[in-house]
A and B are shown apart, each in its own frame.
Chain A
Amino acid sequence: MREFLIGLLLLFTVPLMAQETGSITGTVTDKSLNNEVLPFANILIEGTTKGVSTDFDGLYELNDIEAGTYRVIFSFLGLETQIVQVEVKPGQTTKLNVALDATSGVELEEVVLTSSTKKESEAALLLDQKSANIVKESIGAQELSFKGISDAAAAVNKIAGISKQEDGGNVYVRGLGDRYLNTTYNGLPVPSNNIEKKNIDLNLFSSDVIQNVSVSKTHAANFYGDFAAGNVDITAKEHTGAFFLAIDLGTTVNTNALDTDFVKSEGTGFFGFYNRYRNNPYAVLLSHGVDAIRSDGNTGVSGSFASGKSWNIGNASRLSIFATASFGNSFEYREGPAVDYTTVEKKRFPNSEEYQYGRNTTAMANIVYRINEKHKIIYNSLFINDATDQASYFGTKGLGTNRDAILDTDRGFYQSNIQFNQDMIFVNQLLGSSTLSEKLKLDWGVGYNNVLARQPDRKRISVERYDLELDDDESTNGSFFSNIAYDNQRYFQNIEDSELNARLNLSYNISEKLDLNFGYNGRTKQRTFENIRYGYDFIEPNTPVGDVRNLNEVFTAQNLGTVFNTVVFNGLDPQNGLGNVNLPGQFENTYEGNLDVHAFYVDAVYSLNDKFSVLPGLRVEKFNQDINYDVINLPATDPGQREASEFFFLPSLNLKYALNEDQNLRFSFSSTVSNPEFKEVAPFVYEDVTQRIGGNPELLSDPAFSRIFNVDFKYEWFIKPSELLSVAAYAKAINDPVNLVVANDATGTQRFFRTGDQAQVLGLEIEVRKALITDEDEQSILSTGINATYTYTKQDLKGSDGIFSTTFDRDSDQLQGASPLLLNADLSYRPIFGKYKPVGNLVFSYFSDRIDALGSGQLGNIIEKGVPTLDFIWKNNINEKIELNASFKNLLNPQIERVREVESGDVALSSYKRGLNIGFQFKYKF
């Protein structure tokens, strides 16, 4: 393993010089492995320091060699070195292909290991970026490991123009958020774990399952047409080398959580499972109380194992298996004010506390069967269980106010919300590639995904005059706030997604100058949604509350009908006496959505000459979406369903001009679309403690999509294998954009509207990666990467009518989610002291203030204030087997703040600090 790493890092660079010169180019292959291409083989001109390494395709190029005859040394650890005599003529390129064979003294497994073509080193991925015909940036397992990056969300945050939202894995690419991004896993769509999102939380992909993460910021014909800002693709880790087994154990503490008596929902397990799904919610309500319970400690633990093994079968076949499973939990505690402010202050909680207890289990298996050098099949299976207990208490010091309180609008308002979310994701994929002939290559994949996203038994309690419980006077009491029955409630929600998807690409190499790709992508997705809610309707007004953290004695089955009645929206059978009081009910809201997308595409890669290549493409996509809903509180005249069907013709053009060997100019144009999500269309309203969000089925009416035009221009300079300078300018026009704004209704519900005719995005992106100190082997000891993005956005605004309507008091505004300034930077220090190889990494990221929610009517925008994040990761390879790692995250511990813009200034809606997360990890490789 150590030799492999050294081999990988022994990268030589080409000195630039001379006039009467020629070049040598060619491919290096591995004879012992059916002549598979050999990346990172070393090529050196004997007697000189002139040398180079092959790229991941086994290609090499030695330029600027003075004319003459040379002996060229081809070497690779574990393979027999070859020396070839070659003549270099001025102005000419000599082609020289070499096949290296295994030496007798080296174990086969070592050789296999070094022949890996895994795109996971930084250098390999930069090479990939350099040779790619579209604008694409990637981060591989090696860099993830070097920089101590724990998951895919943190990984993409290192890429220019990308920022992550505090609080979860919401990613913005060039200022465009969730609805303008796509996430794929091995090139196939992967479901979101959260009903509120289109993209899966990238935090769920731990580094253990990632080979690389790439972000494509320009569209090509093989991507789904629903594209505006980027496509995030996660490639699953494959095993290719010798048997290995590694385990790790770790612990994490959050400095905020340390001093707290941490609480969680009752009934949820250590590993984030919940056993009451099979019970009727009403039975759960009667059998179990509402209080949170103490959690077992407040310190996170983690552990994982990963193992891989390969077998040769016969002469040509090889089977490789990689499996990993990991578990980790985390504790975070926040405190600060929470305010609901519209045009007036509706609720203010000067003191609120939130306990977040997350658990994540990931299991992944990957079986690669290389039938022979031409055919390969991969089976990939991924399971993720992501569970979070969240206990929130608002108005904990009796100072909360609610302008709609009954007893006193100036003090003592208190609410609590205790919920548990469990999202289980199952992804199964069969992938393959076949070289059909010298000119024809087939790539294909079929996937089946399932998501079970559940929120069982959320408990919400509302109390008035809580200040009277906190004072010394035992004769005065706080009481339950019960304006309506649902002020104190239990809530249950289930979402199930299933999706079948496929991709197929046939590439046809017509000549050295022309490649054609013909392909198909398709997906058919179904979502079902159901929820039910029970309200506690107190029989006596102002029922005293007592200790707000000990309410189980109030909400007992014995008190049903004497202290409170339960109320449900849809009774079992009201006309026959089974009404909505003190009985279980039927689901309150249900909907079912179907999405079918089928597309054929063709694109060409045409190299006009060595320098200039053109990639025109056309995609024809059939899009069909329907939704059937039965939700409360809609006009009786609403048909309860919507459907849209469209044909899209989506042209794209990518141009690449190589200024020289190391520098590229790129241009890209594409026309894409943006389709509404199920949650944007389903008119169901989710009622949060401080906000209400619902869909708008009119989004599927004319127009049912946004037409988007994208233009990109980019300059790249690959200074050295790990050094880069790039500058990109981009422009986008989004027609009929969708925004989430407050609807004109009597309830203040936020809904999705097409709020204007067009939104425009203009931006500039600069990225530098530089080795600051290198050792004698050109290996960087101290290196840095900095990228900055400036984005200007503007959308025109207009009111809209329909079953829901909205208005604006201004003609235009910035785009929601777009920070004008994004900054990402890291500094890596990797010295080597014999076997001890520590890596220190300082990672910084910043986004400037951005609109979190666009204000409609007289409402001001909600602004997410800019946040700087600084992490320090320290990895210690004590020896070949043992690693001791430490991480110190969120070192700056900035205030995380959301504000509402009002004329007289900003009103803070929430404000808290996340605390430092300090982690230690022990890793052992067998």
Chain B
Amino acid sequence: MKISKLLLGFFALAIFLVGCAADDTATVIIENPNGGNPTNPTEPTDLEIGGTLTEDLTLETGTDYNLTSALIVPEGITFTINPGVIISATSGADVYVAVLQGGKIMAEGTSTSPIVFTSNSTTPNAGDWGGLILLGKAPINSVSGGDATSTSEIGGLPYGGSMVDDNSGIIKYVRIEYSGGAADASSENNGFSFYGVGNGTTIEYIQAFEGKDDGIEFFGGTVNASFISVVGSQDDSIDWTEGFTGTLTNVYVEHRQSHDKGIEGDGFNTDIGNNADPIFWSAPIINNITINGNGSSNENEAIRLRAGTRALFNNVLLSGFAEGFDLDSDGADSPTGQGVLDGETGVTDISFDDVILNLKNDTGEEFGEAEFFTGIGNGTGADYSTWNVGWTRN
């Protein structure tokens, strides 16, 4: 009968139409590079740490620790790390240490026995693991103020508030290596991520070494930091946004093969706007900074200021960049140039070594090098060699 033939034809067609999409995919066989058997893991030798702490934890000198998952320090809990402790992290962007609002980290190394966070891989690479995240209750300008909070790029953790002198603890002589794994293009770990951290917190002698993303990033907050070393960060070495107003003193930045800016400063988070009432911008003070680039022939910028940020620099040494400072205004809501005209942004004492263009003014406001720089040739930088001995890595 006609109709059944037609139906048969239809089913034959169905088989044909499934069949005609190509599949010449080769089989992949996975060999365990370590020779171990994944179903029968070798016994861990290090002490494993991770998870959300329910009581205070102290890492003792002389013990090696393996960070296997996110270690969360919640409100009321103190996480103490004694000098010389090495914490090696299992790979993954979701392996990090986060000190929540109200939690404390007491990581006090010494110049001869620094505390080191690193990758546990035998062939470590930038981005192997997350990094160190501090979340405080100091002001940020992405929310309207009071106790309102925002959430962090990694981990979705709350930060921000109105406690200018909030205290998240002490970080001293701490080095972070091979961190910066990203969850996606907008959720990136850094070496040190300071979210709304208050100036009751002590941060001295910290190094971010070979990180995949930014070395140190400030999301608002008032914290001051000194003796900062960032070596081989693949994205921006120092990054600030969301109304950061702390002071950074003695900063050394060294670019390796892959990198973005030395400093990328934003006045506010451009994804959500400057929602502070009254409005304020990021306005840090940076004293004694050296940024070493890869030479002016490698097209790049040392310092990018944008989205309305203010910043006062004292004693700057820039070497090996196509551009020294690049200032951008992205529109009426981000008046970066206005800060220069108002004297809230500028540089006192600066030296350029192998820099083609000292200042690129894309703000739309009228000012030049003469208005922006005072004391060209007087900059000496961070004097890194006087404070890097023993605890930093090169």
Do A and B share a complex? yes
| Chain A residues within 8 Å of B, Cβ to Cβ | 245, 266-271, 273-276, 279-280, 282-284, 286-288, 305, 307, 309, 323, 325, 327, 342-346, 361, 363, 403, 406-409, 483-487, 537, 540-541, 565, 567, 569-581, 583-584, 632-638, 683, 685, 687, 692, 742-749, 799, 801, 803-805, 807, 809, 856-859, 902-904
Report which of A275, A638, A746 forms a contact with B219, defined as CB distance below 8 A. Answer: A746
- Sample of 20 A–B contacts (CB below 8 Å): A269-B17, A271-B17, A283-B27, A286-B26, A287-B26, A305-B6, A342-B270, A344-B330, A344-B333, A486-B185, A540-B257, A565-B125, A572-B30, A633-B153, A637-B72, A744-B151, A746-B152, A805-B158, A903-B333, A904-B332
Q: Do A268 and B21 touch (CB < 8 A)?
A: yes
Within 1-19 of B, Cβ neighbours of A (below 8 Å) are at 2-3, 6-7, 10, 17-19
Q: What residues of A have a CB within 8 angstroms of the CB of B10 in the complex?
A: 305, 325, 363
Q: Please, which residue of chain B has its CB at the minimum distance from the CB of A588? A: B183
* Chain A residue, CB-CB nearest to B241: A746
**Known contacts A406-B260, A408-B299: does B51 contact A748 (CB below 8 Å)?**
no
Q: A323 contacts which chain B residues (CB < 8 A)?
A: 7
B interface residues (Cβ-Cβ under 8 A, vs A): 2-3, 6-7, 10, 17-28, 30, 32-38, 41-42, 44, 51-52, 68-70, 72, 74, 90-94, 98, 121, 125, 127, 142-144, 148-158, 182-188, 195, 212-213, 219, 234-235, 241-242, 257-260, 268-275, 299-300, 306-307, 328, 330-334
A343 touches B270 (CB 8 A): yes
CB of A807 within 8 A of CB of B148, answer yes
Are A403 and B328 within 8 A (Cβ)?
yes
Bound together, the chains give a CA A683 to CA B155 distance in angstroms of 12
Partner of B149, one of A403, A567, A801: A801
A809 to B272, CA, bound (A): 11
With A344-B307, A576-B34, A576-B42 as contacts: A486 and B182 at CB distance below 8 Å: yes
- Is B332's CB under 8 angstroms from A576's CB? no
Nearest chain-B residue to A686 (Cβ)?
B184
| Distance (whole angstroms) from the CB of B232 to the closest CB of chain A | 12
CB distance from A302 to the nearest CB of B (A): 14
- The interface residues of chain A lying within 8 Å CB-to-CB of B51 are 636
Write out the residue numbers on chain A whose beta carbons fall within 8 Å of the beta carbon of B28.
Answer: 280, 282-283, 286, 584
- Contact yes or no, A345 B331, CB < 8 A: yes
Of B23, B91, B257, which contacts A571 at CB under 8 A?
Answer: B91
A-side contacts of B26, CB under 8 Å: 283, 286-287
Contact call B269/A484, Cβ cutoff below 8 A:
no
Residues of A within 8 A of B334 (CB): 343-344
Instruction: Report yes or no: A636 in contact with B72, Cβ–Cβ below 8 A.
Output: yes
Q: Is the interface of A mostly helix, strand, loop or mixed?
A: loop
Q: Complex Cα distance A288/B28, Å?
A: 13
What 14 new A-B contacts, CB under 8 Å, besides A344-B331, A634-B155? A271-B17, A271-B18, A287-B26, A343-B330, A406-B260, A486-B184, A537-B127, A569-B94, A569-B183, A801-B148, A805-B151, A807-B148, A858-B275, A904-B331
Residue ID in chain B nearest A746 by CB atoms: B153
A858→B52 contact, CB < 8 A: no
A785 to B260, CA, bound (A): 61
Q: A279-B25, A576-B32, A576-B36 are known contacts. Are A635 and B157 too (CB-CB below 8 A)?
A: yes
Given A284-B25, A346-B270, A858-B333, A633–B183 Cβ distance below 8 Å?
A: yes
Task: Knowing A283-B27, A583-B30, say if A856 contacts B272 (CB, 8 Å).
Answer: yes
Q: What residues of chain A lie closer than 8 Å to B328, measured between beta carbons?
A: 403, 409
List the B residue with the shortest CB-CB distance to A541: B258
A415 CB → nearest B CB, Å: 11
Inter-chain contact B273/A579, CB cutoff 8 Å: no
* Contact call A578/B32, Cβ cutoff below 8 A: yes
Docked pose: A286 CA to B93 CA in angstroms: 23
In the complex, residue of chain B having the shortest beta-carbon distance to the beta carbon of A484: B182
A571 with B92, Cβ < 8 A, contacts A687-B185, A858-B275 known:
yes
Q: Is the CB of A747 within 8 A of B187?
A: yes
Main secondary structure of the interface of B (DSSP, over half): loop
Q: Is the CB of B184 within 8 A of A807?
A: no
Closest to A487 in B: B185
Q: Which residue from chain A places its CB closest to the CB of B119 in the assembled complex?
A: A579
* Minimum CB–CB distance for B345 against chain A, Å: 18
- Give the interface centre of A309, A484, A687 by most chain B CB atoms within 10 Å: A484
B20 to chain A: which residues have CB within 8 Å? 269-271, 273
Partner of A902, one of B6, B153, B188, B331: B331
Contacts of B23 in A (CB 8 A): 267, 275-276, 279
The closest CB in chain A to the CB of B157 belongs to: A635
Q: Which of B143, B156, B212, B260 has the most CB of A within 10 A?
A: B156
Within 8 Å by CB of B92, from A342, A487, A570, A748, lies A570
Across the two chains, which residue of chain A brings its CB closest to B150?
A744
- The listed residue (A271, A287, A570, A636) touching B70 by CB distance below 8 A is A636
Are B21 and A269 neighbours in the complex by a CB distance under 8 Å?
yes
- Cα A541 to Cα B234 in complex, Å, equals 9
Which residues in B have their C-beta under 8 angstroms from that of A687? 184-186
Contact call A748/B271, Cβ cutoff below 8 A: yes
Contact of A403 among B18, B212, B306 (CB under 8 A): B306
For A742, what are the chain B residues with a Cβ–Cβ distance below 8 Å?
Answer: 271-272
Bound Cα distance from A675 to B273, whole angstroms: 30
**Given the complex, which residues of A lie within 8 Å of B42, measured CB to CB?**
576
Question: Could you tell me the distance between the alpha carbons of A804 and B18 in the complex, rounded to whole angstroms?
Answer: 44
Which residue in chain B gives the minimum CB-CB distance to A582? Answer: B33
| CB proximity of A358 to chain B, nearest CB, Å | 15
CB distance from A771 to the nearest CB of B (A): 40
Give the chain A neighbours of B272 by CB distance below 8 A.
342-343, 742-745, 748, 856-859
Docked pose: A403 CA to B268 CA in angstroms: 14
Residues of A within 8 A of B300 (CB): 406-407
Chain B residue numbers with a CB within 8 Å of A807 are: 143-144, 148, 275
A748 partner residues in chain B, CB cutoff 8 A: 186, 269-272
Closest CB in chain A relative to B147 CB, distance in Å: 9
- Give the docked Cα–Cα distance between A110 and B154 (Å): 71
Q: Which residue of B lies closest to A460 (CB)?
A: B185
State the Cβ distance, B298 to closest chain A Cβ, in Å: 9
Q: Collect the chain A residues with CB atoms within 8 Å of residue B275's CB.
A: 744, 807, 809, 857-858
Roughly how many angstroms separate A624 CA and B173 CA in the complex, as a whole number? Answer: 53
Q: In this complex, what residue of B is CB-closest to A747?
A: B186
Verify B156–A803 contact, CB threshold 8 A: yes
With contact pairs A288-B25, A484-B182, A858-B333 given, residues A745 and B307 touching in the complex (Cβ less than 8 Å): no
Q: CA separation between A576 and B25, bound complex, in Å? A: 28
A235 to B159, CA, bound (A): 53
Bound CA span A576–B120, Å: 11
Q: Give chain A nearest CB distance to B151 CB in angstroms.
A: 4
A857-B274 Cα distance, complex, nearest whole Å: 7
Q: Would you call B187 and A577 a contact (CB within 8 A)?
A: no
The residue of chain A having its C-beta at the shortest distance from the C-beta of B334 within the complex is: A344
A862 to chain B, nearest CB (A): 14
Q: Which residue of A lies closest to B279 (CB)?
A: A858
Rounded to whole angstroms, the CA-CA distance of A633 and B330 in the bound complex is 29
When A343-B270, A805-B149 are in contact, do A746 and B332 touch as well, CB less than 8 Å?
Answer: no
Q: A274-B21, A575-B41, A637-B52 are in contact. Are A749 and B127 (CB under 8 A)?
A: no
Shortest CB-to-CB span from B128 to chain A, Å, is 8
* Contact A483/B185 with A577-B32, A633-B156, A857-B275 known, Cβ cut-off 8 Å: yes
CB within 8 A of A632: which of B36, B183, B269? Answer: B183
